[in-house]
Amino acid sequence: MVSEHMVKLGMNRNIMREIFEHGKRRAKVVGAGNVLDFSLGNPSVPPPAKVNDTIRAVLDGPLHDSVHAYTSAPGDQGCRDAIAASLTHRFGVFCTGDELYLTVGAAAALCCCLFGLHTPGDEFIVIVPYFTEYRVFIESAGAKAVEVPAAPGTFDLDLAAIEAAIGPNTKGILINSPNNPAGVVYPAATIRGLADLLRRKSSEFGNPIYLISDEPYREVVYDGVEVPWLPAYYENTLVCYSYSKCLSLPGERIGYVLVPQSAEDWARVYAAVAGAGRGIGYINAPSLFQHVAAACDGLTADLSVYETNRNRLYRGLTEMGYTCVKPDGTFYLIFQAPDLDSMAFSKRAMKYDLLVAPTDTFGCPGYLRVAFCVDTGRVEKALPVFRRLAQEYGLCK
């Protein structure tokens, strides 16, 4: 016998991956340039030059004999210290390398937190819309995912709805800002209100309620929008981060969990995160890219391409009559399916080799997500197809 839960996960793949694979098959028939694929958040711009410079320097430098060897389980101490110093400088909240646990990307960071914190009967709140794998991670850890819709229209946090969802079994709340798929950045006033709420509820139930912040898009923001540094607002915050998006390194799988010493019972919480990494096999993030992260923390790839694409898509789609959410960050834009049937719209778009992902598995039916981390030429080529679909749905002439 095998785990039926894992069989189900293996047989029912993420819908974005399914659409992406469909695009690869179509490319063999019509040519890659004729497939307008906006399915996956795969960064299209090259990494900053310092990434490759650092790789060469490490490979050719005094560490070349050990760079491919195991590091300490939480990560190389020098790398953790360097990242901590960068975070302290950037956000003005002192932290040390001993508060960092380097991971195989943000997915591993989230799993380390969820597996480490979970005890029988625990619940974790997720904000709709949410990254599709959150429920997978939470349920695989043995906990229950509790969905709370974001505020209608703005997609900001609905603090009243969150308060109503918090109960004696609430272990934590998982938020993602900038948000995938909506692109919304939760403002400081909202975060301040959430922190006050969590303190009050923690006191009421006699247990800390953890704020797990998933931040792979922290630097991918537009129009001068600032992303609040959550440990400055709430002491029981665990930050999960990945360098995949800001440095255009999705395939290298490098990130971290930050467990601030302000967290209640900090040493045990950090040990639980580290123990989870050991228990689920995530010990030792890729050694070479620990050094890349240490040298390049705070840098970004050229985000101007994404901003150009965002502006062109948002302006074009709204002019065609689509109802869109203008993203403050990420490289995603969501728009409402004209008849609220996102699956049908996605399938109809496929007939024109336009690939956009329905947001049903994000907990938010009725919308489509456009991953605009592509070259601007693809955006320009897609706009007439979007217009044709708008005409078919009666949005414009």
% pLDDT > 70, the chain? 99
- Give the HSE-up count for residue 342: Cα atoms under 13 Å, Cβ half-sphere: 21
Domain boundary among 247, 277, 296: 296
Instruction: Decide if 185 contacts 221 (C-beta within 8 A).
Output: yes
Q: Are residues 243 and 265 in the same domain?
A: yes
Q: 127 with 273, same domain?
A: yes
Q: Kindly report the CATH number assigned to the domain that includes residue 322.
A: 3.90.1150.10
| CA-based radius of gyration for the chain | 21
Do strands 367-371 and 255-258 pair parallel, antiparallel, or not at all (unpaired)?
unpaired
For residues 199 and 223, state if they share a domain.
Answer: yes
**Who's near 19: CB < 8 A, 6+ residues apart?**
37, 39, 346, 350, 355, 356, 357
210 and 318 share a domain? no
- The DSSP output letter for 47 is P
State the pTM of this model: 0.95
Domain that holds residue 338: 4-48+302-392
The residues near 337 (Cβ < 8 Å, ≥ 6 apart) are: 344, 345, 358, 366, 367, 368
**pLDDT score for 384:** 97
Q: Quote the distance between the C-alpha of residue 352 and its chain's center.
A: 29
Dihedral pair phi/psi, residue 145, rounded to 5° = -90, 130
Domain boundary among 249, 267, 296: 296
Q: How many structural domains does the chain have?
A: 2
Q: Where are the alpha helices (DSSP H) in 236-338?
A: 266-279, 287-296, 304-320
What phi, psi does 334 have (nearest 5°)? -115, 145
- Give the per-residue pLDDT at 356: 97
Domain's final residue, options 296, 315, 336: 296
* pLDDT, tens only, 300-318: 999 999 999 999 999 999 9
Band (pLDDT 50/70/90 cuts) for residue 397 is low
